Amino acid sequence: MDLQNEKCVMVIDENLPLGIIVNTAAIMGITLGKEMPEVVGRDVSDRSGSQHLGIIEFPVPILKGNSSLIRSIRGKLYEPEFSDLSVVDFSDLAQGCKTYEEYIEKMEKTSEAELNYLGIAVCGAKEL
């Protein structure tokens, strides 16, 4: 992967409370880190010798949107021409679950049309 040509962006519903906005960004960021571990740089040391874990090697802008815009973006990104992108969505269903098992069980009983998206993150080559 050519990190110079990669780009990520998150779009989060601006109408959410600040805590939910931050939680949405954190969850999507963790998932992107799992999907794209190669974008996390090496650990670094500061001048005093303290260690700091590596962070993503390029910026991740966070943009404001609303649930309709996020749903529209998500729909577009699942079209075949965007299959090379990494896409993470985060819904109200996921945010309301206390365990991953609960999330799995509820998601299996919920249609995509019933989900309210709180945010979406997209990473891929800049030219897409």
Kind of pairing, strands 117-125 and 86-91? Answer: antiparallel
pLDDT value of residue 2 = 65
Kind of pairing, strands 44-45 and 62-65? Answer: unpaired
pLDDT digits (tens, 9 = 90+) for 86-118: 999 999 999 999 999 999 999 999 999 999 999
pLDDT digits (tens, 9 = 90+) for 41-90: 999 999 999 999 999 998 899 999 999 999 999 999 999 999 999 999 99
Structure tokens at 123: 């990473």
Contact of 120 with 9, CB cutoff 8 Å: no
Contact of 54 with 80, CB cutoff 8 Å: no
What CATH number is attached to the domain comprising 114?
Answer: 3.40.1490.10
Distance in angstroms (rounded) separating the CA atoms of residues 88 and 53: 23
Structure tokens at 6: 């990669």
Number of structural domains (the chain) is: 1
pTM above 0.75, yes or no: yes
Q: Which domain holds residue 113?
A: 3-125
Distance in angstroms (rounded) separating the CA atoms of residues 59 and 7: 8
Q: Please report the DSSP string for 1-69 in residue order.
A: --GGGEEEEEEEETTS-HHHHHHHHHHHHHHHHHH-GGGBPPPEE-TT--EE---BSS---EEEE-HHH
Mean pLDDT score of the chain: 93
